[in-house]
A and B are shown apart, each in its own frame.
Chain A
C-alpha cells in the first residue's frame, strides 16, 4: 500500500498542478468570467442540463474527428484480417483481363471501316478500295464540307489565331470568335443567347446534368441517343420514360407524375422533358407544336436535342423550329451540333440568357474543357452565313431526301422508320430473320401503357442483332463494291439502356444532285435486293 500511495502521490500532485494551471489560464482569458457564471447558474438551476451539454460536446467532437471519406470499416460488413491473411488474399486474387479481345465480327467490321483519302465530300476517294464512291455515309447534309470560302476564312483565322485556344473558356480561352459564333447561332435561331461546347457529342451529356439534379424529374423518350442517356444517368434525377415518339404516351406519363406528386404532396421540383428533334436512332421526327403544347400545359422545361435537325431541315436550316414555324424561345434548352449542322466542330446550347449563363459556370464539359479552336468557330460562323444567304441548299437536300424515299419506300423487304423529311434514313430489314423471333403484332384497341419506370417498352420489338447485322454488313459491302459508300448505324452493343434495332443509315447531302442521288440510292436498293435474294 505504501509503495502504491507513494507512486500515486506525485501523479496526483501533477494532476492537481495541471488543473490549477488550467484554471488560472482559463480565468486569464478575456470573457471567461461570463462563461463561468453561465455554467454555474445553469448547473444550479438544472444539473441534468450540464450532463446533457457535456454529452453534446462529446458528440460534436466525435463527429468532427470522424473522417469524411470513411469506408465501411466500422460497418457490419467489414471483416478483420491479419496482415498475413491479407497477403494471402492479395496473392490469390486474379483480375479479369482489362479488355477481352474482340470477336470475329467486330474485327471484320473494324477492318471494313471506311477511310477517306483526301478531302471528304459527295464523292471521296477511299483508302479501302482505292476508288471514289458516292458518299451516303458521312454527315455532310448541307454540303459545306470542302467549301472553298470556308477554307479560305479558316486559313485567314489560322494566320491570326493559331490552331488551339490552349485554355478553358474561364481562363483566357474565350476568344472573340467564340463570342461571335455564339451570337450568330442565337441570332440565327432567334434565342436570347447560346453557348458553345468543344464537341457535339459531349454537349447534351453536359447540359442535362448542369440543370437536372437529384430529386428533379426528367421525362424522356425511350428512343433517345446514347449521349442523352448518359446525361440523364449522370444527373441522378428521377427518370420517367415515355414510348418512343409517342406524345400520347408522354401525356399519360406527365399526368401520372402529376398525380404522384399530388399524392405525396412533395415540394415543387424542376421538371424536364428530354427528347430529340430528329432521332439519331431511327430518323423519326417529333411533333414539335404538340410537344410544346404539352410542355406548357404541364409546366415542364423542354430540353430538345436538335443534333440531326439543326442545319438539315427548315427553309434555311434553322431546324425544327423553322419547319414547324415555332419560336425557338419556347424551347428552354435547344441543343444542336455545329459539327453536323455546319460541318465545323463542336456543339451548342441555345436558350435564354439565364440558361446560358448558368452553363458557363455549371456545365462540366464547358468549364473543364479547352474551348473550341478559333478557326473551327469561324468555320461555323461562315456556315451560318452561307445557310442564311442560300436557301437553295436546303431545297436541294429536301429534293434528294424525297428522291431517295420514293425509291426506297417501294422496296418490299425493308421498313423505314424515319420521317419522310428526315435527311438521315434508317433502313430496317422487314423479313423476320428467324420465325421464332417474329415481331409481335400489337393489337390496335388493346393499348396498355408501358411502365414509365422502365426504359424498355411494354411490347418490345424482338430482333436478332447478330443475324441482322451480318445481312446489313453484306449490303454495305455490296453497295461499296458498286461505288456507293453507306454504313450500318454503329452501336456499342451492351452499353446502352436498350439495344437499337440494327439498321443501315443513309445520310443525304445537298452536295449531290437529284440525278446523282437517284443513281446512288438505286445502287443501294439493288444491293439490298441482291443480298436478300441470295439469302433466300
Chain B
C-alpha cells in the first residue's frame, strides 16, 4: 500500500528512476512516527479502495500528470488479473533497447542489461588473505535499546498471557490441558511465536504468484484482527524481488530452459512413480547425475528430490555411533537434523574460526571418545560453502591445510554457493582454485542457482554407490520428478556450455580429466573428453534436448555468472559505503544488513514494500540469528540490472537515515548515494580491504 500517491512520471519511462530519487520519502515523513501514521492511513485507504472506478488515490497536493494511456503507472486498480505483464515501472527497462540489441528474456523475469561494464568475474587471488567472520559492533545505545526492546516485548507478552488466561480463557484453550488431553503446544514453547513473531506476521509467508524472478507479484493482504488472520484484498502488486534464491536468474517461465522442461513433460510426464531403487528411476536421472558429477568435478553424484532431505537422509549413511561430526555453529537446520538422526557425537566450533577448529581437532583426536577414550572411528567436518544467514564464505584453503594434518573427512554443503560462486560457477572449490576431488563429499541443492528443487551429493564413486544403497532416500523417498530433472539438466548444461563430440574443447583450462568409468561396471560414463571446469559433451545429454545457441555455447551462462558477481559486489560495497553494517564476503550473493532493534524489522520491510517501486525483502531475527543481530537479508540475482541495485541502494539510503541504521563506516569515509551510483564500476573493482 502506498503511503504517498503513486505519481506516474510525465516524461516517459526514462525519467521514472530519476524522478523517484528526488521525490521519494518527502521531508514531511522524516520521523518514524509520521511515517507510521501515514502507513495506517494508506492501509485504511486501501481497504476502502476496492471501488470499481479507477480513481487515483493521489492526494490533491501531488500532481497527477498522466496524459497517455500507455504511461507506466502502478495504481493498484490497474493491476488487472488477466493482464500477464502488469504495467509497472519494473516492466520497462531503464534504458530502452537499441535496434541491434535483442533480448530473449522477459524483463520482469530477467532484467535487460546490455552494458558490458556491469560485469565481473570473481575468483580468489592465490595468496590473498582470507578474513574470518568479523562481528561489527554498533554503538552501545543500539545494543542497550535492542535488549530493552526484547525485555519490553517479553514482559508485555507475559502480562498479556497472564491477563488473557484469566479474562479470555477461550482464546487460550489450545494452550491448556482440556478433556484429559495435554495442550498441543505448551504456552512456554510457543511464547516466541505468539508474542513476538505474530506482531510482524506481515513480513512472513507473503503469498505470491507467478515467477519468482527479478520481480515477483504479491497477493496483497491485510489483517483486521491484529495479525491473527490475514485476509487477501484481491489486489496484486509487482515488486522488485531481492529475496528469492534465484542467483543465476533461472527462475523463468520463458526461454530455452523452460522450453526444454515443456518438451520433457510432453515426453516423460510428471512423476517417475516411486523411489530410485524401486522402479522410479528414469533415464533422465542417470543423465542428471552424470552431468552433476561433471559440473562439480567429482567422480560420481546422486540426486535426491528435496534439498533438506538430502542432508537429513545422507548424513546418517556416512557416520554413525563411534564417529564424530564437527559442525560449524551456524550450520543449517537440515545438517543438524541429519546429524541427530545418525547417532554420531557432535562438537561445534565458532563460526568460520579456524583457530577454534584446530584447537577442537587437537582436543578431540587426543581425547578420543568420551569416557572410553577409544579413538574415533571417523571424524567428519561439516561446513557450508556459503552461509545462508551471514553471507560468509568458508575458509576452504585453511581447512584443506588442516585436513592434511588431522585426517578428517570433509563434507561441504554448497546449497548456496553452487552455481553462485566461482569464475565458472562451480562453487566454493572453484572460487578458491582447489581441486574438488580433494573434498570428500560435496553436497548442494538445485533450488537456488538452477531454478529447480532437490539436492545432490557428489564424491568418489564407491562412496556414492554406497549412499545409493544405504541412504534412505534411494529406498524410500520419491525420485526427483521430470520437470525438475529437465530444468537441472538444461540450466546446468547452459552454464557449462555444450560441445558437439567432434569439436574437442582445446581452449578449456584443463585441470582434472574425468576418468573413464567404462571399467567400473555401470558402464554409462564413457567419454573422457570432459575437462573440469569446461564445457560438457552433448553425448551425455538427452538427444531430444535442444538448447538455443546462446545457451549451448555457454555465452549466456558466463554472462549470468558475471552479472551476479557484479551485482553482489555492487550491493555489498554500496551498502558498506553508505555506512551500513553488513556481514559476509563481497562475492556472496547473500548480503545481510544488520538492523539490531527488532522493532525496525517490520518498519524496514514495510517502507521497502510501500515505495513507489516496491521492493520485497526478507527480515530475520532470533532464533534464526543471534538475539542481537536482527537483519535484512538481500539475495542478489543475475537477473537484476545495475539500475535495480541502484534502486535498492537508494531505498536503503533513505530508510537508513530515517531509522538510524548507519553505524558502520565513519561519516567522513562514506560516499553519497549519487556518487555510489555513478562510480559503481570503480567501487566494484576496488581491491579487497
Binding site for B on A (CB under 8 A): 69, 71-73, 77-79, 81, 85-86, 89-90, 93-96, 98-102, 106-107, 109-111, 113-121, 127, 135, 137-140, 144-147, 150-151, 154-155, 158-167, 169-176, 179, 198-202, 205, 211, 213, 216, 225-227, 230, 233-234, 268-271, 280, 299, 301, 337, 339-340, 343-345, 354-355, 358, 360-362, 364-365, 367-370, 372-373, 375-376, 379, 485, 487, 489-492, 494-495, 505, 507
A137 to B246 alpha-carbon distance, docked (Å) = 36
Q: Nearest CB to that of B375 among chain A residues?
A: A93
The answer to whether B180 has its CB under 8 Å from any CB of chain A is yes
**Contacts known (A110-B469, A345-B271); A85 close to B366, Cβ less than 8 A:** yes
Contacts of A344 in B (CB 8 A): 270-271, 481
Taking each of A98, A140, A145, A344, which has the highest tally of chain B beta carbons within 10 Å of its own beta carbon? Answer: A98
**Contacts known (A166-B244, A365-B308, A370-B245); A113 close to B269, Cβ less than 8 A:** no
A135 to B370 alpha-carbon distance, docked (Å) = 51
**Contacts known (A170-B204, A299-B179); A145 close to B306, Cβ less than 8 A:** no
**Contacts known (A78-B367, A110-B465, A495-B472); A233 close to B266, Cβ less than 8 A:** no
Contact of A369 with B306 in the complex, beta carbons under 8 Å: yes
A102 to B407 alpha-carbon distance, docked (Å) = 23
Contact of A100 with B448 in the complex, beta carbons under 8 Å: no
Contacts of B209 in A (CB 8 A): 161, 175-176
Contact of A89 with B365 in the complex, beta carbons under 8 Å: yes
Contacts of A113 in B (CB 8 A): 276-277, 281
Contact of B475 with A492 in the complex, beta carbons under 8 Å: yes
Q: Nearest CB to that of B369 among chain A residues?
A: A77
Contacts of B219 in A (CB 8 A): 176
What are the 3 closest A-B residue pairs judged by CB atoms, nearest first? A137-B279, A201-B477, A369-B308
Q: Give which listed residue, A175, A200, A271, A485, contacts B478 with CB less than 8 A.
A: A200
Contacts of A270 in B (CB 8 A): 181-184
Contacts of B483 in A (CB 8 A): 154, 158, 163, 373, 375-376
Contact of B470 with A495 in the complex, beta carbons under 8 Å: yes
Q: Give which listed residue, B306, B317, B405, B447, contacts A495 with CB less than 8 A.
A: B317
Contacts of B189 in A (CB 8 A): 213
- What's the nearest-Cβ distance from chain A to residue B621, in Å? 12
Contacts of B307 in A (CB 8 A): 369-370
Question: Which listed segment binds A: B111-119, B333-341, B510-518, B643-651?
Answer: B333-341
Contact of B466 with A100 in the complex, beta carbons under 8 Å: yes
Kindly identify, within residues 269 to 293 of chain B, every residue whose CB is under 8 Å from any CB belonging to chain A. 269-283, 285-286
Contact of A90 with B365 in the complex, beta carbons under 8 Å: yes
A72 to B363 alpha-carbon distance, docked (Å) = 10
Digit string of B238-255 for contact with A (CB within 8 Å is 1, else 0)? 000101111000111110
A115 to B277 alpha-carbon distance, docked (Å) = 9
A100 to B467 alpha-carbon distance, docked (Å) = 11
The answer to whether B580 has its CB under 8 Å from any CB of chain A is no
Q: Nearest CB to that of B441 among chain A residues?
A: A98
Count how many chain B residues have C-beta atoms less than 8 Å from C-beta atoms of the other chain.
135
Contact of A96 with B377 in the complex, beta carbons under 8 Å: yes
Binding site for A on B (CB under 8 A): 109, 174, 177, 179-185, 189-190, 193, 197, 204-213, 216, 219, 241, 243-246, 250-254, 257-258, 261-262, 265-283, 285-286, 305-309, 312-313, 316-318, 329, 332-334, 337, 340-341, 347-348, 361-363, 365-367, 370-371, 373, 375-380, 405-409, 440-441, 445-448, 450-453, 460, 462-463, 465-478, 481, 483-484, 487, 521-522, 616, 618
Contact of A361 with B470 in the complex, beta carbons under 8 Å: no
Q: Nearest CB to that of A171 among chain B residues?
A: B618
Contact of A227 with B487 in the complex, beta carbons under 8 Å: no
Contact of A162 with B212 in the complex, beta carbons under 8 Å: yes
A507 to B279 alpha-carbon distance, docked (Å) = 10
Contacts of B205 in A (CB 8 A): 169-170, 174, 360
A485 to B279 alpha-carbon distance, docked (Å) = 8
Q: Nearest CB to that of B468 among chain A residues?
A: A110
**Contacts known (A172-B616, A495-B317); A115 close to B337, Cβ less than 8 A:** no
Contact of B253 with A160 in the complex, beta carbons under 8 Å: yes
Contact of B278 with A487 in the complex, beta carbons under 8 Å: yes
Contacts of B241 in A (CB 8 A): 172
Q: Give which listed residue, B190, B269, B317, B332, contacts A120 with CB less than 8 A.
A: B269
Q: Assuming A170-B204, A176-B208, what are 12 further A-B pairs, CB within 8 angstroms?
A: A85-B366, A93-B375, A95-B409, A113-B277, A118-B267, A163-B251, A165-B212, A172-B206, A200-B477, A361-B197, A492-B317, A495-B316
A158 to B185 alpha-carbon distance, docked (Å) = 39
Contact of B366 with A89 in the complex, beta carbons under 8 Å: yes
A60 to B193 alpha-carbon distance, docked (Å) = 30
Contact of A145 with B273 in the complex, beta carbons under 8 Å: yes
Contacts of B447 in A (CB 8 A): 164, 166, 370
Q: Give which listed residue, B244, B453, B462, B478, contacts A172 with CB less than 8 A.
A: B244
Contacts of B184 in A (CB 8 A): 211, 270, 301, 354-355, 358
Q: Give which listed residue, A162, A171, A227, A361, contacts B253 with CB less than 8 A.
A: A162
Contact of B341 with A95 in the complex, beta carbons under 8 Å: no
Contact of A159 with B305 in the complex, beta carbons under 8 Å: no
Q: List 27 A-B contacts (CB under 8 A).
A: A69-B329, A77-B371, A90-B362, A98-B318, A99-B463, A102-B469, A116-B279, A120-B269, A145-B273, A158-B265, A162-B109, A162-B251, A163-B453, A163-B487, A164-B487, A167-B212, A167-B245, A174-B205, A175-B207, A226-B476, A269-B182, A271-B182, A301-B181, A364-B337, A370-B453, A490-B278, A492-B471
Contacts of A299 in B (CB 8 A): 179-181
Contacts of B280 in A (CB 8 A): 120, 138-139
A487 to B377 alpha-carbon distance, docked (Å) = 35
Contact of B207 with A164 in the complex, beta carbons under 8 Å: no
Contact of A114 with B174 in the complex, beta carbons under 8 Å: no
- What's the nearest-Cβ distance from chain B to residue A501, in Å? 15
Q: Nearest CB to that of B464 among chain A residues?
A: A99
Contact of A99 with B467 in the complex, beta carbons under 8 Å: yes
A107 to B521 alpha-carbon distance, docked (Å) = 9
Contact of A115 with B281 in the complex, beta carbons under 8 Å: yes
A304 to B271 alpha-carbon distance, docked (Å) = 25
Q: Nearest CB to that of A78 among chain B residues?
A: B367
Contact of B337 with A158 in the complex, beta carbons under 8 Å: no
A113 to B618 alpha-carbon distance, docked (Å) = 43
Contacts of B207 in A (CB 8 A): 174-176, 179
A337 to B271 alpha-carbon distance, docked (Å) = 13
**Contacts known (A110-B468, A116-B279, A165-B212); A90 close to B373, Cβ less than 8 A:** no
Contacts of A492 in B (CB 8 A): 317, 469-472, 474-475
A267 to B340 alpha-carbon distance, docked (Å) = 28
Contacts of B197 in A (CB 8 A): 361
Q: Nearest CB to that of A269 among chain B residues?
A: B182
Q: Nearest CB to that of A144 among chain B residues?
A: B271
A198 to B452 alpha-carbon distance, docked (Å) = 12
A205 to B338 alpha-carbon distance, docked (Å) = 11
Contacts of A167 in B (CB 8 A): 212, 243-245
- What's the nearest-Cβ distance from chain A to residue B542, in Å? 10
Contact of B340 with A162 in the complex, beta carbons under 8 Å: no
Contact of A99 with B466 in the complex, beta carbons under 8 Å: yes
Contacts of A170 in B (CB 8 A): 204-205
Contacts of A339 in B (CB 8 A): 271, 478
Contacts of B474 in A (CB 8 A): 490, 492
**Contacts known (A164-B446, A166-B448); A171 close to B204, Cβ less than 8 A:** yes
Contact of B270 with A86 in the complex, beta carbons under 8 Å: no
Contact of A98 with B463 in the complex, beta carbons under 8 Å: yes
Contacts of A96 in B (CB 8 A): 377-378
A77 to B364 alpha-carbon distance, docked (Å) = 12
Contact of A107 with B270 in the complex, beta carbons under 8 Å: no
A150 to B265 alpha-carbon distance, docked (Å) = 10
Q: Nearest CB to that of B247 among chain A residues?
A: A166
**Contacts known (A119-B269, A376-B270); A155 close to B262, Cβ less than 8 A:** yes
A198 to B454 alpha-carbon distance, docked (Å) = 9
Q: Give which listed residue, A110, A234, A280, A505, contacts B337 with CB less than 8 A.
A: A234
Taking each of B183, B184, B448, B476, which has the highest tally of chain A beta carbons within 10 Å of its own beta carbon? Answer: B476
